[in-house]
Amino acid sequence: MEPGITTGARRIRVFDTTLRDGEQSPGATMSLEEKLEVATALAELGVDVIEAGFPIASPGDLAAVRQIAEQARGVTIAALARCVKADIDAAVEALRPAADPMLHVFFSTSDIHLQHQVRLSREGALERIDQMVRYARAAVPNVEWSAMDATRTDLDYLCRAVEVAVRAGATTINLPDTVGYTLPHECARMFTRVREYLAERVPNADQIVFSTHNHDDLGLATANTIAAIEAGVRQIEVTVNGIGERAGNTPLEEVVMALRTRADNYGGYTTGVRSERIGGVSSLVGRCTGIVVAPNKAVVGSNAFAHESGIHQDGVIKDRTTYEIMTAESVGWTADQLVLGKHSGRAGFRQRLADLGYEVDQERLQGLYARFIALTDRKKRIDDADIVAIVEEEEQHSGPEAFALLAWRSASASDGPGRADAAVVLAIDGQEYEASGTGNGQVDALFAAINHLVRIPNTLVSYHIDAVTPGGDAQGAVAVTIAVGDRTFQGRGVATDVVEASIRSYLVALNRAASAAKGTEHRGDAETQRAAERNESKGREEVAERV
Ligand code: MN
């Protein structure tokens, strides 16, 4: 198969940009480990392309793209670059380990952007596009070129820019609605016009894959994406849960399920997405980004398959198709959710774990079940998200553990010296130790107590609390990042008490630091980090001379 070409005229290539455009959502920043977890889940979901990041943007982005490129197989890995040599160099370097790399270069084409942001004439822009697409193509055979702000670009000029990019070697042409402005018929007309223009001038123009990338500022992203498919586009750029800049990007789950549910209308457009994995990936992205899906969100909202009104319930009980156009199972939500509570036995709990995609042996089941029963004492309703949070926290403990939490207490008050007191009991290599600490809050005091025992000098780089589910008795999920020397380590912890969740997350990070110190992992990391730093300084100079 040639790069950039998918088999079957009605096969739609899914280009997922959750890790790039999605991660640009305010507050969505993910750790390296979370990005790797999401990338693995996307590959298993069956997307064709994972846009892993924008390597010039930061050393962290470059390192993430490189690691994803190293690990992911059976999927194309894309990296973003402006039409600037340093950007392209950084992206090429990050993509080097990829089995199937794609370089994504973009340049603005609208007069608004050319005049106010890029400060180049139309002709100057064409020259830049020609040079930089050629430069990119010399490094990587699979090049996507995007006309930033395409939907607000003069159509004749857009046609000329696309021709320049194709002649320079671009294999995919993406015409994004960067600002979420276009309408479905207008978006379709743009693609039809550009494709006709190209077909008249460039030999083998039908080998070029056209791509659509929409933003949801007017709530039209999915509609525009589908209109583009009907106009001949064979690649869609989407994100899980529709996360992305401002109002977000086209949600992957909406387009995939619209094509499937209305196959009668769309006559056999297919994607490689395994729809029954959508629910799981949606939850994962929600947890990693902290961006909670609205209950009424199409396909992945918690109410998307819930029937509340009496008339609807009556109909669904008689026959599900009365009010359901697709089944909950088809997107990975188990139907007829049996309620899990204090009285659920191990078998029911194990079945729910299996439904959620976790196969556990007897020994792990024992530990997980104990945490589940403890949770039923503190929380009225146990949701799938609670169970997933417990399993995922527990999975972090799979390696050898130097430190384990046995007990803790802490106290703080509005009066008094303004200090919190805390004590912890830890098992360290099988021995029990106790220490106390003070701090300007309970978490601070507990971390101080832990540090008396653990003795790994570290600084707390970040600390986030989120609720796993809504409600006053929700579990708190805490994510911490610590720096030890020039390395960083993440940990996540869940508990109904956020103080306990904090201790758990901190100990996970410290255990990871301890096992790294023993040299059990990470040879490549330092190298990646050095490469990232080199590129950061390069990037700064380049941004200064900005296009
Ligand atoms: Mn975008």
- SS3 for 157-217 is HHHHHHHHHHHCCCCEEECCECCCCCCHHHHHHHHHHHHHHHHHHCCCHHHCEEEEEEECC
Facing residues of 235 across strands? 13, 211
From ligand 1's centre to the CA of 24, what distance in Å?
A: 9
Q: For residue 239, report the distance from its CA to the centre of ligand 1, in Å.
A: 10
Dig out the tokens for 437 from the structure: 């600490």
Beta bridge partners of 60: none
Distance CA 375, CA 371 (A): 6
**Cα-Cα-Cα-Cα dihedral sign, residues 177, 31, 255, 165:** positive
What is the secondary structure of 343-411 as a DSSP string? T--HHHHHHHHHHTT----HHHHHHHHHHHHHHHHH-SS--HHHHHHHHHHHHGGGS--SEEEEEEEEE
What's the pLDDT tens digit per position in 390-441?
888 887 776 678 899 999 999 988 776 668 999 999 999 889 999 999 998 9
Å from CA of 178 to ligand 1 middle: 5
If pLDDT is split at 50, 70 and 90, which confidence band does 312 have?
A: low
Task: Determine the distance separating the centroid of ligand 1 and the alpha carbon of 120, expressed in angstroms.
Answer: 22
Ligand 1 centroid, distance to 543 Cα (angstroms): 20
| Cα 26 to ligand 1 centroid, rounded to whole Å | 13
pLDDT tier for residue 544 given thresholds of 50, 70 and 90: very low
Q: Report the range out of 250-259, 342-351, 396-405, 480-489 with the highest average pLDDT.
A: 250-259
Residue type, 2: E
Cα distance between residue 511 and residue 396, in whole Å: 10
Q: What are the residues whose beta carbon lies below 5 Å from ligand 1 (ion)?
A: 21
User: How far is the centre of ligand 1, averaged over its atoms, from the C-alpha of 8 (Å)?
Assistant: 27
By the 10 Å C-beta count (0-12 exposed, 13-18 middle, 19+ buried), 4 is classed as: buried
Cα Rg of the chain, angstroms? 26
C-alpha 106 – ligand 1 centre gap (Å): 11
CA dihedral (83, 88, 90, 91) positive or negative: positive
Angle at 24 between CA 21 and CA 27, to 5 degrees: 140
CA of 534 to the centre of ligand 1 (A): 27
Cα angle at 324 between 319 and 329, to 5 degrees?
A: 95
Distance 180 CA to ligand 1 centre (A): 9
Which pLDDT does position 311 carry in this prediction?
64
506 C-alpha to ligand 1 centroid (Å): 35
69 C-alpha to center of ligand 1: Å? 21
Distance between Cα 113 and ligand 1 center (Å): 15
- How many angstroms separate the alpha carbon of residue 215 from the centre of ligand 1? 7
Inter-residue long-range contacts of 516-524, CB under 8 Å, 24+ positions, other chains counted? 516/484, 516/487, 516/489, 517/456, 517/484, 520/399, 520/400, 522/487, 524/67, 524/70
Cross-sheet strand order for the sheet of 487-495: 459-467, 476-484, 487-495
Distance 359 CA to ligand 1 centre (A): 37
**Of 242-256, 308-322, 505-519, 525-539, minimum mean pLDDT range:** 525-539
Burial 34-73 (b: 16+ CB within 10 A, else e): bbbbbbbbbbebbbbbbbbbbbbbebbbbbbbbbbbbebe
Separation of 214 CA from ligand 1 center, angstroms?
7
User: Separation of 312 CA from ligand 1 center, angstroms?
Assistant: 38
Span from the CA of 203 to the centroid of ligand 1 (angstroms): 30
**Cα–chain-centroid distance for residue 361?**
29
pLDDT in tens, 485-543: 888 888 888 888 899 999 999 999 999 888 888 764 433 444 444 444 444 444 333 33
Q: Which domains can be identified in the chain, with CATH numbers?
A: 13-273 (3.20.20.70), 310-396 (no CATH), 403-517 (3.30.160.270)
Q: What is the pTM of this model?
A: 0.67
The CA 432 to ligand 1 mean position distance, Å, reads 53
Least confidently predicted of 253-257, 313-317, 368-372, 377-381:
313-317
Residue in the block written with tokens 């629910």: 279
